[in-house]
Amino acid sequence: MPNTKVSCMTDFVIYLGDVITANNIMIANASLYWDQATAPARNRGIPWASVFGNHDDAAFEWPLKWFSAPGIPPIHCPQNTTSYSGEEECSFKGTGRLNLMTNEIKHNGSFSSYGPRNLWPSVSNYVLQVSSPNDPQTPVAFLYFLDSGGGSYPEVISSGQVEWFRQKAEEVNPDSRVPEIIFWHIPSTAYKVVAPKFGIPKPCVGSINKETVAAQEVETGMMDLLVNRTSVKAIFVGHNHGLDWCCPYEKLWLCYARHTGYGGYGDWPRGARILEITQTPFSLQSWIRMEDGNVHSEVVLS
Protein backbone atom coordinates (compact mmCIF):
# COMPACT_ATOMS: atom_id res chain seq x y z
CA MET A 1 0.00 0.00 0.00
CA PRO A 2 1.41 3.43 -0.87
CA ASN A 3 1.86 5.71 2.10
CA THR A 4 -1.02 8.18 2.26
CA LYS A 5 0.03 11.65 3.35
CA VAL A 6 -1.79 13.73 5.94
CA SER A 7 -1.12 17.47 6.30
CA CYS A 8 0.51 18.31 9.62
CA MET A 9 -1.71 21.38 10.06
CA THR A 10 -4.97 19.48 9.48
CA ASP A 11 -7.26 18.24 12.23
CA PHE A 12 -7.48 14.47 12.08
CA VAL A 13 -9.77 12.05 13.96
CA ILE A 14 -8.80 8.50 14.91
CA TYR A 15 -11.57 6.03 15.76
CA LEU A 16 -9.72 3.63 18.01
CA GLY A 17 -11.99 0.59 17.78
CA ASP A 18 -15.39 -0.45 19.16
CA VAL A 19 -16.92 2.15 16.90
CA ILE A 20 -20.15 0.14 17.18
CA THR A 21 -21.39 -2.46 19.67
CA ALA A 22 -22.34 -5.04 17.07
CA ASN A 23 -23.33 -7.66 19.63
CA ASN A 24 -26.40 -5.50 20.36
CA ILE A 25 -27.34 -4.96 16.70
CA MET A 26 -29.84 -7.18 14.86
CA ILE A 27 -29.22 -5.92 11.33
CA ALA A 28 -27.67 -7.47 8.24
CA ASN A 29 -25.53 -4.42 7.45
CA ALA A 30 -24.23 -2.56 10.52
CA SER A 31 -22.48 -0.02 8.27
CA LEU A 32 -25.51 2.19 8.87
CA TYR A 33 -24.41 2.62 12.48
CA TRP A 34 -20.72 2.89 11.55
CA ASP A 35 -21.61 5.80 9.28
CA GLN A 36 -23.52 7.46 12.09
CA ALA A 37 -20.45 7.19 14.34
CA THR A 38 -18.11 8.75 11.78
CA ALA A 39 -20.63 11.40 10.68
CA PRO A 40 -19.40 14.13 13.09
CA ALA A 41 -15.99 14.11 11.37
CA ARG A 42 -17.39 13.59 7.89
CA ASN A 43 -19.96 16.39 8.17
CA ARG A 44 -17.27 18.83 9.29
CA GLY A 45 -14.89 17.89 6.49
CA ILE A 46 -12.35 16.50 8.96
CA PRO A 47 -10.39 13.47 7.68
CA TRP A 48 -10.28 10.34 9.82
CA ALA A 49 -8.91 6.82 10.14
CA SER A 50 -10.10 3.80 12.10
CA VAL A 51 -8.99 0.49 13.54
CA PHE A 52 -11.20 -2.40 14.60
CA GLY A 53 -12.04 -3.39 18.16
CA ASN A 54 -13.50 -6.55 19.64
CA HIS A 55 -17.14 -5.38 19.38
CA ASP A 56 -17.22 -4.05 15.81
CA ASP A 57 -17.90 -7.34 13.99
CA ALA A 58 -19.22 -9.39 16.90
CA ALA A 59 -22.27 -11.57 16.44
CA PHE A 60 -25.50 -10.64 18.22
CA GLU A 61 -25.56 -11.82 21.85
CA TRP A 62 -28.94 -13.12 22.94
CA PRO A 63 -29.78 -11.80 26.43
CA LEU A 64 -30.16 -14.71 28.84
CA LYS A 65 -33.25 -13.16 30.41
CA TRP A 66 -35.06 -13.62 27.08
CA PHE A 67 -35.06 -17.37 27.73
CA SER A 68 -37.06 -17.16 30.96
CA ALA A 69 -40.57 -15.88 31.57
CA PRO A 70 -42.08 -13.90 29.91
CA GLY A 71 -39.79 -15.06 27.07
CA ILE A 72 -38.36 -13.43 23.97
CA PRO A 73 -39.99 -10.02 23.42
CA PRO A 74 -41.24 -8.87 20.01
CA ILE A 75 -38.17 -8.11 17.92
CA HIS A 76 -38.18 -5.00 15.77
CA CYS A 77 -35.13 -4.89 13.52
CA PRO A 78 -33.66 -1.60 12.31
CA GLN A 79 -34.89 -0.70 8.85
CA ASN A 80 -32.42 -0.78 6.00
CA THR A 81 -32.49 2.45 4.02
CA THR A 82 -32.35 2.68 0.24
CA SER A 83 -28.60 3.38 0.46
CA TYR A 84 -27.88 0.11 2.24
CA SER A 85 -28.43 -3.31 0.75
CA GLY A 86 -29.18 -6.33 2.90
CA GLU A 87 -31.80 -8.71 4.13
CA GLU A 88 -35.14 -7.31 5.22
CA GLU A 89 -35.36 -9.68 8.16
CA CYS A 90 -33.21 -9.63 11.28
CA SER A 91 -29.62 -10.79 11.13
CA PHE A 92 -27.72 -12.11 14.14
CA LYS A 93 -24.36 -12.96 12.60
CA GLY A 94 -22.70 -9.54 12.69
CA THR A 95 -21.19 -7.53 9.84
CA GLY A 96 -17.66 -8.58 8.92
CA ARG A 97 -14.60 -6.38 9.12
CA LEU A 98 -14.16 -6.38 5.34
CA ASN A 99 -17.73 -5.23 4.77
CA LEU A 100 -17.45 -2.48 7.35
CA MET A 101 -14.16 -1.27 5.86
CA THR A 102 -15.50 -1.46 2.30
CA ASN A 103 -18.31 0.89 3.27
CA GLU A 104 -16.10 3.29 5.21
CA ILE A 105 -13.45 3.84 2.56
CA LYS A 106 -16.12 4.84 0.04
CA HIS A 107 -16.19 8.18 1.86
CA ASN A 108 -13.67 10.75 0.66
CA GLY A 109 -12.61 11.72 4.18
CA SER A 110 -11.54 8.23 5.23
CA PHE A 111 -7.82 7.41 5.30
CA SER A 112 -8.46 3.87 6.54
CA SER A 113 -7.34 0.77 4.65
CA TYR A 114 -8.00 -2.94 4.41
CA GLY A 115 -4.32 -3.68 4.95
CA PRO A 116 -2.44 -6.60 3.38
CA ARG A 117 -4.56 -9.57 2.39
CA ASN A 118 -2.10 -12.05 3.88
CA LEU A 119 -2.91 -10.66 7.35
CA TRP A 120 -6.68 -11.22 7.09
CA PRO A 121 -8.87 -11.80 9.19
CA SER A 122 -6.84 -8.98 10.76
CA VAL A 123 -7.93 -6.09 8.54
CA SER A 124 -7.03 -2.56 9.66
CA ASN A 125 -3.22 -2.70 9.34
CA TYR A 126 -1.71 0.30 7.54
CA VAL A 127 0.57 3.31 7.93
CA LEU A 128 -0.03 7.00 7.26
CA GLN A 129 2.63 9.63 6.70
CA VAL A 130 2.15 13.01 8.38
CA SER A 131 3.77 15.81 6.41
CA SER A 132 4.02 19.57 6.47
CA PRO A 133 1.87 21.36 3.87
CA ASN A 134 5.00 23.33 3.00
CA ASP A 135 6.93 20.15 2.19
CA PRO A 136 4.52 17.28 1.54
CA GLN A 137 7.25 14.84 0.49
CA THR A 138 9.14 15.02 3.79
CA PRO A 139 7.62 12.99 6.65
CA VAL A 140 7.12 14.61 10.05
CA ALA A 141 5.82 11.40 11.64
CA PHE A 142 4.47 7.98 10.72
CA LEU A 143 1.20 6.75 12.20
CA TYR A 144 0.85 2.96 12.33
CA PHE A 145 -2.57 1.33 12.76
CA LEU A 146 -2.95 -2.32 13.74
CA ASP A 147 -5.92 -4.62 14.24
CA SER A 148 -5.66 -6.20 17.72
CA GLY A 149 -8.40 -8.73 17.01
CA GLY A 150 -11.39 -9.78 19.05
CA GLY A 151 -14.99 -10.26 18.01
CA SER A 152 -14.84 -12.75 15.15
CA TYR A 153 -11.34 -14.04 16.02
CA PRO A 154 -8.93 -14.06 19.03
CA GLU A 155 -7.71 -10.89 20.73
CA VAL A 156 -4.14 -10.86 19.45
CA ILE A 157 -1.64 -9.05 17.26
CA SER A 158 -0.26 -11.95 15.25
CA SER A 159 3.33 -12.82 14.43
CA GLY A 160 2.39 -12.03 10.82
CA GLN A 161 1.48 -8.49 11.83
CA VAL A 162 4.76 -8.17 13.71
CA GLU A 163 6.68 -9.15 10.59
CA TRP A 164 4.56 -6.79 8.47
CA PHE A 165 5.39 -3.93 10.82
CA ARG A 166 9.08 -4.81 10.76
CA GLN A 167 9.19 -4.81 6.96
CA LYS A 168 7.04 -1.70 6.58
CA ALA A 169 9.11 0.27 9.10
CA GLU A 170 12.32 -0.72 7.31
CA GLU A 171 10.77 0.39 4.05
CA VAL A 172 9.47 3.82 5.08
CA ASN A 173 11.80 4.68 7.99
CA PRO A 174 14.96 2.58 7.63
CA ASP A 175 17.17 4.71 9.85
CA SER A 176 14.44 5.34 12.49
CA ARG A 177 14.95 9.04 11.94
CA VAL A 178 11.25 9.92 11.71
CA PRO A 179 9.11 9.64 14.89
CA GLU A 180 6.52 6.87 14.91
CA ILE A 181 3.18 6.72 16.77
CA ILE A 182 1.22 3.48 17.15
CA PHE A 183 -2.54 2.87 17.43
CA TRP A 184 -4.51 -0.31 18.19
CA HIS A 185 -7.54 -1.18 20.31
CA ILE A 186 -6.77 -3.89 22.90
CA PRO A 187 -3.79 -3.17 25.17
CA SER A 188 -0.75 -5.41 25.18
CA THR A 189 0.32 -7.18 28.37
CA ALA A 190 2.93 -4.42 28.84
CA TYR A 191 0.06 -2.21 30.01
CA LYS A 192 -0.36 -4.53 32.99
CA VAL A 193 3.28 -3.95 33.91
CA VAL A 194 2.94 -0.17 34.17
CA ALA A 195 -0.68 0.05 35.35
CA PRO A 196 -1.01 2.14 38.54
CA LYS A 197 -2.35 0.11 41.46
CA PHE A 198 -3.91 2.99 43.41
CA GLY A 199 -4.72 6.39 41.96
CA ILE A 200 -2.47 7.64 39.17
CA PRO A 201 0.88 8.59 40.72
CA LYS A 202 3.67 10.25 38.74
CA PRO A 203 5.24 9.68 36.30
CA CYS A 204 1.87 8.43 35.01
CA VAL A 205 -0.66 11.07 34.00
CA GLY A 206 -4.45 10.69 33.85
CA SER A 207 -7.73 11.09 35.70
CA ILE A 208 -9.50 7.71 35.97
CA ASN A 209 -8.12 4.34 37.04
CA LYS A 210 -11.29 2.40 37.76
CA GLU A 211 -10.60 -1.09 36.39
CA THR A 212 -7.84 -3.57 35.67
CA VAL A 213 -6.15 -3.79 32.29
CA ALA A 214 -7.93 -6.24 29.96
CA ALA A 215 -5.01 -7.21 27.73
CA GLN A 216 -4.59 -9.23 24.56
CA GLU A 217 -4.64 -12.99 24.99
CA VAL A 218 -0.98 -13.51 24.06
CA GLU A 219 2.13 -11.57 23.03
CA THR A 220 3.81 -12.53 19.76
CA GLY A 221 6.73 -10.09 19.70
CA MET A 222 5.22 -6.71 18.85
CA MET A 223 6.22 -5.00 22.09
CA ASP A 224 9.78 -6.35 21.88
CA LEU A 225 10.02 -4.88 18.40
CA LEU A 226 8.60 -1.49 19.38
CA VAL A 227 10.71 -0.93 22.50
CA ASN A 228 13.83 -1.51 20.42
CA ARG A 229 12.91 1.12 17.86
CA THR A 230 14.13 4.51 19.05
CA SER A 231 11.67 6.21 16.70
CA VAL A 232 8.56 4.85 18.48
CA LYS A 233 7.26 7.51 20.86
CA ALA A 234 3.91 6.23 22.13
CA ILE A 235 1.20 3.58 21.78
CA PHE A 236 -2.48 4.48 22.10
CA VAL A 237 -5.26 1.98 22.87
CA GLY A 238 -8.93 1.96 23.86
CA HIS A 239 -10.89 -1.07 25.15
CA ASN A 240 -10.96 -0.24 28.91
CA HIS A 241 -13.56 2.51 29.36
CA GLY A 242 -12.56 3.11 32.98
CA LEU A 243 -8.91 3.95 32.25
CA ASP A 244 -7.46 7.06 30.62
CA TRP A 245 -3.85 7.20 31.86
CA CYS A 246 -0.48 7.46 30.13
CA CYS A 247 2.53 5.73 31.73
CA PRO A 248 6.15 5.44 30.59
CA TYR A 249 7.42 2.00 29.57
CA GLU A 250 11.06 1.52 28.64
CA LYS A 251 11.74 4.46 26.29
CA LEU A 252 8.18 5.04 25.10
CA TRP A 253 4.74 5.82 26.52
CA LEU A 254 1.73 3.55 26.86
CA CYS A 255 -1.50 5.54 26.74
CA TYR A 256 -5.24 4.98 26.87
CA ALA A 257 -7.68 7.11 24.96
CA ARG A 258 -10.86 8.30 26.67
CA HIS A 259 -14.28 6.70 26.25
CA THR A 260 -15.99 9.03 23.79
CA GLY A 261 -19.25 7.50 22.58
CA TYR A 262 -22.49 6.58 24.31
CA GLY A 263 -22.33 2.85 23.63
CA GLY A 264 -20.67 0.18 25.72
CA TYR A 265 -20.34 -0.15 29.47
CA GLY A 266 -19.69 2.43 32.18
CA ASP A 267 -21.12 5.84 33.02
CA TRP A 268 -17.88 7.81 33.34
CA PRO A 269 -18.03 11.30 31.77
CA ARG A 270 -17.23 11.26 28.07
CA GLY A 271 -14.15 12.86 26.57
CA ALA A 272 -11.46 12.45 23.92
CA ARG A 273 -7.68 12.21 23.93
CA ILE A 274 -6.09 14.99 21.91
CA LEU A 275 -2.65 14.72 20.30
CA GLU A 276 -0.65 17.68 19.08
CA ILE A 277 2.36 17.21 16.82
CA THR A 278 4.86 20.02 16.39
CA GLN A 279 7.32 19.75 13.53
CA THR A 280 10.36 21.85 14.48
CA PRO A 281 11.64 20.77 16.85
CA PHE A 282 9.50 17.64 16.90
CA SER A 283 7.25 17.26 19.91
CA LEU A 284 4.23 15.12 20.76
CA GLN A 285 1.92 16.47 23.43
CA SER A 286 -1.39 15.09 24.64
CA TRP A 287 -4.29 15.96 26.90
CA ILE A 288 -7.90 14.96 27.47
CA ARG A 289 -10.77 17.21 26.49
CA MET A 290 -14.08 16.40 28.15
CA GLU A 291 -17.51 16.70 26.57
CA ASP A 292 -18.15 19.84 28.64
CA GLY A 293 -14.97 21.48 27.33
CA ASN A 294 -12.83 20.90 30.43
CA VAL A 295 -9.18 20.03 29.68
CA HIS A 296 -6.89 17.96 31.92
CA SER A 297 -4.09 15.37 32.03
CA GLU A 298 -1.61 17.31 29.90
CA VAL A 299 1.56 15.33 29.16
CA VAL A 300 4.60 15.73 26.90
CA LEU A 301 5.29 12.36 25.24
CA SER A 302 8.28 13.37 23.15
CA dist., res. 94 & res. 29, Å (int): 8
Structural Rg of the chain based on CA atoms: 19
The per-residue pLDDT for 84 is 43
Residue 136: asked if its preceding bond is cis (omega within 30°), the reply is no
**pLDDT greater than 60 at residue 223:** yes
> Residue 204 is which amino acid?
C
Grouping H, G, I as helix, E, B as strand and the rest as coil, residue 235 is strand
pLDDT digits (tens, 9 = 90+) for 275-300: 999 999 999 999 999 999 999 999 99
Residue 81 CB-half CA count within 13 A: 6
Grouping H, G, I as helix, E, B as strand and the rest as coil, residue 8 is coil
pLDDT digits (tens, 9 = 90+) for 118-134: 999 999 999 999 998 88
pLDDT digits (tens, 9 = 90+) for 167-191: 999 999 999 999 999 999 999 999 9
Q: Residue 146: name the closest of 115, 184, 116, 112 by CA.
A: 184
**pLDDT greater than 60 at residue 1:** no
The per-residue pLDDT for 5 is 60
Q: Which of the residue ranges 73-77, 118-122, 231-235, 255-259 would you say has the lowest mean pLDDT?
A: 73-77
CA dist., res. 168 & res. 164, Å (int): 6
Q: Residue 258: name the closest of 10, 12, 16 by CA.
A: 16
User: Confidence class of residue 69 from pLDDT cuts 50, 70 and 90?
Assistant: confident
Q: pTM value?
A: 0.92
User: Confidence class of residue 62 from pLDDT cuts 50, 70 and 90?
Assistant: confident
115-300: CATH superfamily: GpdQ, beta-strand dimerisation domain (3.30.750.180)
